[in-house]
Amino acid sequence: KQEVTQIPAALSVPEGENLVLNCSFTDSAIYNLQWFRQDPGKGLTSLLLIQSSQREQTSGRLNASLDKSSGRSTLYIAASQPGDSATYLCAVPLYNNNDMRFGAGTRLTVKP
């Protein structure tokens, strides 16, 4: 059974810091892994999708890595800004294609 865990649950950093969010999954047989951002009271915005054959994906100040064998993914945010404050969720689709397992998220606060 696929379990997705995100550490830490909450993180507070001063503006300008580089930071790493962690996501781990128990079953390494995944199609891909997706990172989302969720603002309070809002929906999910897709940030990055890493296919199982890829090691990393980059978008602007965001870099996501994937290590299937160890069941881990990290989201690296460079030069954090107050606008980055949100909850970051990682998710993996199951092989049956019907379910997407989400972590509980990391709530990030970037202080000006």
Please report, as a single letter, which amino acid is at residue 59. Answer: S
Give CA–CA dist 68/46, Å, rounded: 20
Per CB under 8 A, which of residues 32..51 are in contact with another protein?
32, 34, 36, 41-46, 49, 51
Pick from 96, 98, 90: which is nearest to 66 by CA? 90
**Measured CA angle at 21 (ends 17, 26), to 5 deg:** 165
Length of the chain (residues) = 112
Which two three-digit tokens encode residue 67?
A: 């290590």
Answer yes or no whether residue 29 interacts with another protein by CB under 8 A: no
Candidate list 22, 28, 31, 76; residue touching another protein; CB under 8 A:
31
Give, as ranges, the residues between 52 and 111 that touch another protein (CB under 8 A).
Answer: 89, 91, 93, 95-105
Q: Pick between residue 41 and residue 60 the one whose CB is nearest to another protein.
A: 41
List residues near another protein by CB under 8 A: 4, 31-32, 34, 36, 41-46, 49, 51, 89, 91, 93, 95-105
